[in-house]
Amino acid sequence: MKRLVLLITVMCAVAMSAMAERVKIIMIPDHADAIYKVGEQVKMKVILTDCGLALNGATIDYEISEDLMPAHEKKTITLKGYETTIKVGTKKKPGFVRVRAKVKHAGKNYSAMSTVGFDPQKLTPYTEKPEDFDEFWAKNLEKLKKVDLRPKMELLADRCTEKVDVYHVSYGNIGGSRMYGVLTMPKKEGKYPAVLRLPGASVSPKGGDIKHAEQGVIVLELGIHGIPVNLEGSIYDDLSSGVLSNYQMKDIDDVNAYYYRRVYLGCVKGIDFLLSLPQCSGKVGTLGGSQGGALSLVTSRLDSRVKATAVYFPALCDQEAYMNNRAGGWPHVLKYEGNRTKEIINTVRYYDASNFARGLKAPVFYAFGYNDITCAPSSTYSTYNVIPAPKQLSIGADTGHWLHSEQVEAMWNWIIEELR
């Protein structure tokens, strides 16, 4: 059996290696941390390899842009050897500049990017905070308090392990709706901290977090669409391309009917659900990435019972930045002039994660990557900068809309320790 496992492991390693691209475009800024002062000139070394060996004489097409904004410089150069240096230039205001490079070799296209920051610690959100922002959400929370929890738990026996019980759960939310999720809980009798794990933008089933439940944490992996999260995958595909297509824009012209109103309040109700569990120690945290990162910030701001907040590359951050010639966050609503109506801008301001970040009190673990082309680093860093709570920053200079495994491990270790 051990020999079979070893053989399979080797075969998988070979298969993964075979999938790796042979040509590498290595881009290295001349500052080790990729951070510069405003006005400082940037140079970037570019090295080309083919199967680990020098790739000489290739032609490189590259473009330079400010974060996700249109390119302001495009050039083509032919290398004499296998490396060159690009003069990236500078920036007059805090923010990010990105270089994208492309090479065609042996009939195939290869690409890479590298992003540098200019005084990013000085970035602040452009998105305005309405004068009645706190009052608006306080009134909504009062309405939420009147909603009965009406929790339901169904044991998923086929998913349970020796150490963890797995449940499909639901609870009441505003407007007669329900929130659904998968709860994983240690079987051993005792009191445990709990984490509300919030989803990225998708319409999908949930599997549950057995790994961290085995480490002594109750985890509720939440869905946001008011539908069960244990159905056949094809159902979610149909919903995603049908009634839930582009859900992030639904009723965005009405601040009281916007899709995320029910979602934000449903996440807060999830804290009620976790604290209602007899096995919960009373210490609850939130964790999520992308859309889930925004929801983690929002839930923590709206519910003072949250004791720790883990966030990675949050969406819905500083969306008004696009109206000031700087990249904003997903879903990039205000990137398009047709969306810049008085009603939509008003709604964005009440739901933008940066305005929730300003009022955070629980400690925060915050991670993102400079090469993120979904949630622009200009938007995520500016949001981080206005967090008044104790905070810890984890940056991946080479990462995009993903984290290194070491960052994921550090994040979970941090939130578990905070909730002990």
Cβ of 417: how many Cβ atoms within 10 Å?
10
Match 């919030």 to its residue by tokens. Answer: 198
Rounded to 5 degrees, φ, ψ at 304 are -70, -10
Question: Any idea what DSSP says for residue 249?
Answer: G
What Cα–Cα distance (Å) separates residue 142 from each residue in 223, 265, 268, 296? Answer: 23, 11, 12, 20
Distance of CA 83 to the CA centre of its chain: 34
Long-range Cβ contact pairs of 323-326 (< 8 A, separation 24 or more): 323/126, 324/126, 325/69, 326/66, 326/67, 326/69, 326/95, 326/126, 326/378
Question: Any idea what DSSP says for residue 188?
Answer: S
- E strand spans, 213-302: 218-222, 280-289
Question: Pick the catalytic residue: 114, 290, 296, 354?
Answer: 290
What Cα–Cα distance (Å) separates residue 169 from each residue in 54, 218, 230, 301? Answer: 56, 13, 10, 24
Amino acid symbol at 406:
E
Question: Pick the catalytic residue: 67, 318, 352, 372?
Answer: 372
- CA dist., res. 49 & res. 373, Å (int): 25
- CA dist., res. 241 & res. 203, Å (int): 9
Amino acid symbol at 355:
N
Amino acid symbol at 419:
L
Q: Is 330 exposed, middle or buried (0-12, 13-18, 19+ CB in 10 A)?
A: buried
Residue 290 annotated among the catalytic residues of the structure = yes
Q: Which residue numbers are catalytic?
A: 290, 372, 401
